[in-house]
A and B are shown apart, each in its own frame.
Chain A
């Protein structure tokens, strides 16, 4: 068994099953920083900036959970489990996704009820959970995955991602959600992940056009 610290980092200059997800992590971290600022406003002003909080929750629900976690749970994780049945790290990641969904539900309810204290509490819990979750995936799971997957398996996984991003989410939805994430970042003075050319390339690597479009 390899030690994770001796495995190469995810290569963000190359499109792969893991680099695509690491690129998306940077957008999710960007939205978490916006969410942190929204939670601070909720705490200090005792009110939720409803429009912006709803926008951030749409990105977290549809981009982070449905699209990004969907790629992991429906494509990458099954591929890793097929190679190594009962692969432990994947089970931990799945459990944390479930935990995250509970925080999102709590934030959505808090926004609906305009309950600023509950929103701030749920947001703070979610931010802490997701930051450590992303660190574990980038620093451990994806480095193992990079060693486990053959080029053929990697290509099959990328096709699975394309199906989720375009066929399942709908053409243009991925870009629309990235646009909301960036508009929020600009509004709150948070650096945009897409300003890094490598990340921008990864975020736009999967094209929805069929081959003969």
Chain B
């Protein structure tokens, strides 16, 4: 229980709040924002050791955000969310790792 919490675990827990705000504000015009918040929620709730689920959710994040590129004219919160998700995604296990472990 007293092992340190991984950095990305804290990051995704923080991004869960930002994703919720973005979904509430931009959901009516960008429906993917609502789905994105659900995926961020799922990733935040995924056990640290569940690498298979992390890979799937990481891919889904990349698809929903079109490779973490904010839409044209997006606000500061969206840019902050996408930058944070790109950072988290880079720390997640990748597909090629799953086949070797």
Which A residues form the contact surface with B (CB < 8 A)? 41, 49, 51-52, 55, 171-172, 174-180, 182-184, 186-188, 194, 200-201, 203-204, 207-210, 213
- The reply to whether A172 and B1 form a contact with Cβ atoms under 8 Å apart is no
Q: Give the contacts of B47-74 with A (CB-CB under 8 A).
A: none
- Tell whether, in the assembled complex, residue B14 and residue A175 are in contact, meaning their CB atoms are under 8 Å apart: yes
Q: How far is the CB of A82 from chain B (nearest CB, A)?
A: 31
Give the total of B residues in contact with A, Cβ under 8 Å.
24
- Identify A208's interface contact among B2, B10, B16, B76, CB under 8 A: B76
Q: How far is the CA of A176 from the CA of B15 in the complex (A)?
A: 8
Given contacts A51-B2, A201-B24, A204-B17, contact A209 B10 (CB under 8 A): no
| Closest A residue by C-beta to B12 | A179
B40 to chain A, nearest CB (A): 11
A188, A194, A201, A203 pick with most chain B CB within 10 angstroms: A194
Q: Is A213 in contact with B75, judged by CB distance below 8 angstroms?
A: yes
Contact with B1, one of A174, A175, A188 (Cβ below 8 angstroms): A188
Secondary structure of the A contact surface, majority rule: helix
Contact B17 A194 (CB under 8 A): yes
- Complex alpha-carbon distance, A71 and B53, angstroms: 40
**Which of chain A's residues has its CB closest to B2's CB?**
A49
Let me know if A179 and B17 touch, CB within 8 A. Answer: yes
Query: Are the C-beta atoms of A213 and B24 separated by less than 8 Å?
Result: no
B20 (CB) vs chain A CBs: closest residue: A204
Inter-subunit contact A180/B10 (CB<8 Å):
yes
Q: Contact at B14–A55, with CB atoms within 8 Å?
A: no
Let me know if B5 and A55 touch, CB within 8 A. Answer: yes
Contact (Cβ within 8 A) B1 A200: no
Q: Are B76 and A209 in contact (CB under 8 A)?
A: yes
B25 at the interface (CB under 8 A from A): yes
Considering the chains assembled together, what is the distance between the CA atoms of A183 and B88 in angstroms? 15
Query: Does B94 have its Cβ within 8 Å of any Cβ on chain A?
Result: no
User: Any chain A CB within 8 A of the CB of B80?
Assistant: yes
Q: Are A179 and B16 in contact (CB under 8 A)?
A: yes
CA of A55 to CA of B80, assembled, Å: 23
CA distance A213 to B80 in the complex (A): 12
- Knowing A51-B4, A183-B9 touch, does A200 contact B20 (C-beta < 8 A)? yes
Complex contact B11–A179 (CB within 8 A): yes
Q: Mark B19-44, 1 if CB is under 8 A from A, else 0.
A: 01100110000000000000000001
Any chain A CB within 8 A of the CB of B91? no
